[in-house]
Structure formats: C-alpha cells, structure tokens
Amino acid sequence: MRIAMGIGGDVIGTPMSPQSIVDQARLAEAEGFPSAWSVHFTRGVDALNVLAVAGTQTSRIELGVGIVPTYPRHPLALAQQAATTQALCGGRLTLGVGVSHRPVIEGMHGIPYASPAAHMRDYLSVLTPLLREGSVSHHGEFYQVEGSFTVPGTRPVSVVVGALSPKMVRVAGELADGVVTWLAGLRTLDGHIVPELAKAAAAAGRPQPRVVAAVQVAVCDDADAGRATAEDVFARYGGLENYQRLLAREGVASPGALAVVGTESEVEKQLRRYADVGATELWPTVFAVGGDADASVRRTRALLAELAPEL
C-alpha cells in the first residue's frame, strides 16, 4: 500500500491559492511521497488546471485529483481537459470523478441529481474511451456523443470514481480503474467496497482495481484531543446525505470517529490496518492538533514520509 500526501486542504475548508497547491506538490515530491492528491474545490480553484502547472514543476510524483463532479461537466470537455493536463504531467495524472452531492448539483448548479449510478455508467462510457483512445461513439440514456480529439504528447489517463453506494461501486469496478473513498472506515472497506469492487472488475475482465482511501490523520500525544479536534474540523461532512449512509454502515455517529490519531506507533498501527483490508493507496488529510498548528502538521507529515516507502 502506498501513502500519498494530500495537497490543497479539504473540499469544504478554505481553498488555497493555486501557487500554494503547486508548492505543496513540489514539497511532497521532495519529501519522497510517491503521489499527491488534490481535492477539486466546490467554491475554489480548478484542481486540474493547478495540477497541469504542478506537472511542469515536478518530475517524479504522481498527481491525482478527486473528485471532479460529473453533472456540470460534459464528459467530452472533461476528457479534453484531463488529456491536456496529462500531457503537461508527463503521464503522471489520475483523474477522480464522482456525482458529488444533491445540495451541490441541484442547489448550486441547478441540475437535477437524477439516477446517480446510471448517470455515472453513461458518463464513464464516454469518458474512458476518450481518455484511452481519443475517440468515442456512444448513444446512451444521458449522453449521445460522436467525438474525438488529439492532444500531442498525452497518454491514457487512469480514472477512479468516488464510489460509496453498492451500485456506484459496481459501476466503478466494471468501467473505471478503481475508487476513491472518503469517510469509508475499515468495516465498510473490508465488508463492502473492496470485495464488491473486485467482484465487478473480475466479471468485466478488468485488472485488479485501485482502492484509494482518503483518511483523516494527526500524530499527537493525546489521542482524545486528536479525536475531539477531528470531530470539530470534519463535522460538516456529517450533514451530507451520502456520507450519513456511509457512517451508518460503518456504525459510527460522526466523521471524527474515523480519524486516525495518536502517537507515531499508534498511527502507524492504524494505517497498516487499511492495507490489511485491501486499500492500495492512502490519501491522508492531515489536520493540526494543539496550539502549535505548524509543528503538529510537520510531525504528522514526517511520519507519513517515513512510512511512504514501507507500508
């Protein structure tokens, strides 16, 4: 299991400037992380554009974005943007897509949040051929597309899906390269997402899928203080319907209950359990605990960098 580094903060929090995210990608590469993941901000910068710049200022680190909402972006337009970013990244891009949440899609964009799993199946049926071959002929329920494009210097783009529900996990297994999860705990990964994803991929004749698990992480001496901080920092996610169902499946009351907190040895032990249940990559969302936020973040990043080549 690889350990990535999250860059750009969390999706509901205050967005960082484009240059700050690029600087974080460069730092993550210097620290030895194999990959860095940026959220796609609902009310902030366009992460794909930022990663295009980051790709020109890094040389080794893989760069991922998650999750680009599908409803507001036509798959042909997103494919062109992702292929262009891929060319600038030298083939190091992973594109994460998802249906987002009803308040975002209907409340902000004014688009009906209709049949999410069926929508994603149709979307991927257009997007993935374009990113692999540069052309598509598709006539489905939501999209009718006869399209092609050429981006010199690009390579096929790996696509992963923000998949939480059983239907969405099956779609991801059949049509994408894997999933990205957020607020999916060990029980949910082990008993639901990992086996259902593998089953769907095998039935479709696809390779073993990627499982990128985004987790809240803070190294601290007082685990109770760490959990209390996580309860405060990540409480907003608990108000979203999709995450409420996921938390109920896990058997916890709030997002903070899933935080990985404690001393270096305690955090390492908890992170290894994600590998045990089938995660192929961890995407840590690092948060600060205590009065010295910078020191707290540095301590957590130091442990993650140390573990990145080992787990």
| In the chain, where the domains are located | 2-307
Taking only Cα atoms into account, the Rg of the chain, rounded to an integer number of angstroms, comes to 19
How does residue 42 score in pLDDT terms, banded at 50, 70 and 90? confident
Please determine, for residue 157, whether its predicted confidence score (pLDDT) is greater than 80: yes
144-154, pLDDT tens digit by residue?
A: 999 999 999 99
pLDDT of residue 12: 52
Please determine, for residue 50, whether its predicted confidence score (pLDDT) is greater than 90: yes
In angstroms, rounded to a whole number, what is the distance separating the alpha carbons of residues 218 and 267? 8
- Looking at residues 57-83, what average pLDDT do you find? 97
pTM over 0.75: yes
- Looking at residues 200-215, what average pLDDT do you find? 97
> 2-307 belongs to which CATH class?
alpha beta
Structure tokens of 32? 């030895």
In percent, how much of the chain has pLDDT > 90? Answer: 89
pLDDT of residue 309: 81
Please determine, for residue 13, whether its predicted confidence score (pLDDT) is greater than 80: no
How does residue 43 score in pLDDT terms, banded at 50, 70 and 90? confident
Asked if 264 contacts 40 with a C-beta cutoff of 8 angstroms, the reply is no
Across the chain, what does the average pLDDT equal?
95
Asked if 150 contacts 130 with a C-beta cutoff of 8 angstroms, the reply is no
104-133, pLDDT tens digit by residue?
A: 889 999 999 999 999 999 999 999 999 999
Q: Which amino acid is at 92?
A: R
In angstroms, rounded to a whole number, what is the distance separating the alpha carbons of residues 50 and 23? 10
pLDDT of residue 36: 98
Which sign, positive or negative, has the C-alpha torsion 115, 118, 121, 125? Answer: negative
- Looking at residues 276-280, what average pLDDT do you find? 98
pLDDT of residue 16: 84
pLDDT of residue 8: 84
230-242, pLDDT tens digit by residue?
A: 999 999 999 888 8
Asked if 6 contacts 214 with a C-beta cutoff of 8 angstroms, the reply is yes
